[in-house]
Structure 1
Amino acid sequence: MTQDTSLLPGRLLRQAGGPKTIEKFTGIEIHDSRLEEVLSADAEPVILYQFTLHGEGTIWDTPNGRLVWSDVPNRRLLGWYPDGHVEVVIDNTEFMNGNALGADGVLVHCEHGRRCISRSDVQGGATPIVTHFEGKRLNSPNDVTVAADGAIWFTDPTFGILMPNQGSIVEPQLDHRSVYRFDPATKDLRRMADFEQPNGLFFSPDGRTLYVSDTARSLGEIIGGHEKDTHEIVAFDVAEDGTLSNRRFFLRTDHGYPDGFAVDARGWVWTTSGDGIQIYAPDRTKLGFFPTPATPANCCFGGKDMDRFFVAAKDYLLVLDLKGPSFLSRSANFMRDLAR
């Protein structure tokens, strides 16, 4: 008997077509003239897609020429393509959140449901590659980035085991919430630093500084209050073997807290906040700001020439066009090589 597939959901979520404008956009704030080198004061972000429940984990997937991001509660990994169409890349995920492009050009993911780091596979799913630390299940990996040497770095807070719409409610096996470094070649997993609730992370262009956001404040939104109000990005010096030192405060956003963020070729930190994107120089000078129609959770640079800035803001996927390439670090050069 032939299965009737007429009522099954399709992979296509948006037809090819142009973006939509944001109503009542109030404009970009230029606080420092250096920002004018890459961003016009009259530029405006536009809407590429709407109707995610909680967009997260933006990454430019160069080998496939698309922007990939997670809709965590809807349990989907989505892909936006330059012609404007949006499709489901992986359906029925285990609450994927953060994503990154591995050194081999294959996507790696953070999963709340299986509490692991996974890797996209040829069957259209994902295979776990990191599930435990010292014999105990990870908490709920949240965000991930890949260093110049190919090591996979990720954060492991407890958000995904506190919210049933983003994972499941279980007791953690670990008594710490940490940043880890995983070497895919040797399978070595190292605990690098502890936090209240580590969230986003990203390297400086030269790989010598690691930035990590700690957003324990957000637990107040989840459980109606929390004794810790941490809402900041900290920085570390990174040794050649990955060892972290010189932990120091970097910034707090003007509103809300810094969730995901990206670092450009100049070392500028483009971070999410309660009401939009804030941009800071490495010396902590605030360079500028632009509002988003909903609270953003993550962002990345992308596009064929790495001259576009993508933002996942709750139900929106937005993009802001820049004056020129703004992500020319080792990672971007590597990704361009993949596309050749």
Structure 2
Amino acid sequence: MNAEPASNLLRRPGPPEPVPHVDPPRASDPRFSEVVPHHARLVSLYDQAIFSEGPTWWPARGILVWSDVEGRRVLGWHADGCVRVVIDATPFINGNTVDRDGNLVHCEHGNRRLSRTSPDGRYEALVETYEGRRFNAPNDVVCAADGALWFSDPAYGLRLPRQGVLAASDLGHHSVYRFNPADGSVRRMTDLGQPNGLAFSPDGRTLYVSDTSRTEGGDGHTIHEYAVVDDQTLGEPRVFAEIEPGVPDGFRVDDRGWIWTSSEAGVQVLSAEGHRLGLIPTPQVCSNLCFSPEQQRLFITSKQHLYALDLAAR
């Protein structure tokens, strides 16, 4: 892979583009309007990707990064509006997160592993096997408070040639894993039909994981919740929410404990108790999302687009 190629400018600095013909946010609970004003409108920050996924804020560089999975690039949006290629010729990188040392951690569909890129551009593989067998195609990843990397491992990269490499699973199961970079250990934490997005509650005591097996002919379109015990053991799963229409691909939990999840209709927002608070419609199917550091701006990936929506001042 090539970090920061010389001809990496994709969009020149400038203001975002308005998004016409999209419905305004819809509140189901008054609390939603206090955070997402009815007058808030989507803007387009970039619209030339092929399939956008894996957005995350990278503090070390002060940019929003996301994956163009099918375009095989990791892109970066800068505060002046320009978009640059951060990593070129990727092995179908999908999900990204930032670890405790400020490195950008990637889920690679093509190489079927986790890798990381340091702020100065150094790249290295992290982990690619469990009990001697290769992962399926790591999809999404989150860093826990203790520095462990939790990631989902569905089969999409093995079955979709535009997003990975066609192959049979070495494992025979679709799981969530906990990888400890400090000692290299890998633990299989839970199995789902097709585990996908994942996030922790603000206090780290609950892990949320989505099952998107509906996209593969199954019935999973759910977010499950697990109690986290001693930072590395999961309790029994409970269905937190079923998402309609579509599936909960990627999602985030804000510092209120609200769950902001992708869906076919846009971004759906639920309280920590599972109550539906509101919807932010998007013109295309929403794949994933993340917040700015102060949680005053929401970034949304949706097919070729990177969108943004400003939230109420806090």
Query: Does the TM-score normalized on the shorter chain lie above 0.5?
Result: yes
Q: 1:241 deviation in Å?
A: 3.4
Q: 1:306 deviation in Å?
A: 3.1
Residue correspondences, number: 310
Q: 1:125 deviation in Å?
A: 5.8
Give the counterpart letter for 2:248 in structure 1: P
Cα distance between partner residues in 2 of 1:119 and 1:85 = 24
Residue number in structure 2 paired with 1:335? none
Identity of aligned residues (%): 47
Among 15, 18, 40, the alignment partner of 1:18 is 15
1:250 has 2:240 as partner = yes
1:268 has 2:258 as partner = yes
Cα distance between partner residues in 1 of 2:225 and 2:122 = 34
Cα pair 1:275 1:295 within 8 Å, conserved: yes
Cα distance between partner residues in 1 of 2:97 and 2:105 = 5
Residue number in structure 1 paired with 2:125? 128
Cα distance between partner residues in 1 of 2:154 and 2:222 = 15
Cα pair 1:100 1:109 within 8 Å, conserved: yes
Give the counterpart letter for 1:311 in structure 2: I
What do residues 123-144 of structure 1 show as CA deviations (whole Å, max 9, x unaligned)? 7363211100000000000000
Cα distance between partner residues in 2 of 1:122 and 1:278 = 33
Determine helix, strand or coil for the equivalent of 1:246: coil
Q: State TM-score, norm by structure 1.
A: 0.89
Cα distance between partner residues in 2 of 1:127 and 1:177 = 25
1:165 has 2:162 as partner = yes
Give the counterpart letter for 2:241 in structure 1: L
1:110 has 2:107 as partner = yes
Q: Which has the higher helix share?
A: 1
1:77 has 2:74 as partner = yes
Cα pair 2:26 2:278 within 8 Å, conserved: yes
1:231 has 2:228 as partner = no
Determine helix, strand or coil for the equivalent of 1:53: coil
Residue number in structure 2 paired with 1:207? 204
Cα pair 1:96 1:112 within 8 Å, conserved: yes
What do residues 268-318 of structure 1 show as CA deviations (whole Å, max 9, x unaligned)? 000000120100001111000011111111100115x33111000011100
Determine helix, strand or coil for the equivalent of 1:238: strand
What do residues 218-271 of structure 1 show as CA deviations (whole Å, max 9, x unaligned)? 12xxxxxx2x22111100000123200031001112211110000001100000
Give the counterpart letter for 1:245 in structure 2: G
Give the counterpart letter for 1:320 in structure 2: L
CA RMSD of the aligned region, Å?
1.4
Superposition pairs of residues 1-340 of structure 1, within 5 angstroms: 10-121=7-118, 124=121, 126-219=123-216, 226=217, 228-303=218-293, 305-324=294-313
Cα distance between partner residues in 2 of 1:255 and 1:80 = 29
Q: 1:36 deviation in Å?
A: 2.4
Would the alpha carbon gap of residues 316 and 122 (structure 1) be closer, same or farther in structure 2, given more than 3 Å must change? closer
- Runs of 5+ consecutive residues of structure 2 not aligned to the other structure: none
Cα distance between partner residues in 1 of 2:310 and 2:23 = 17
> Is 34-43 or 85-94 further displaced after alignment?
34-43
Cα distance between partner residues in 1 of 2:41 and 2:248 = 22
Determine helix, strand or coil for the equivalent of 1:160: helix
Cα distance between partner residues in 2 of 1:124 and 1:80 = 17
Cα pair 2:10 2:85 within 8 Å, conserved: yes
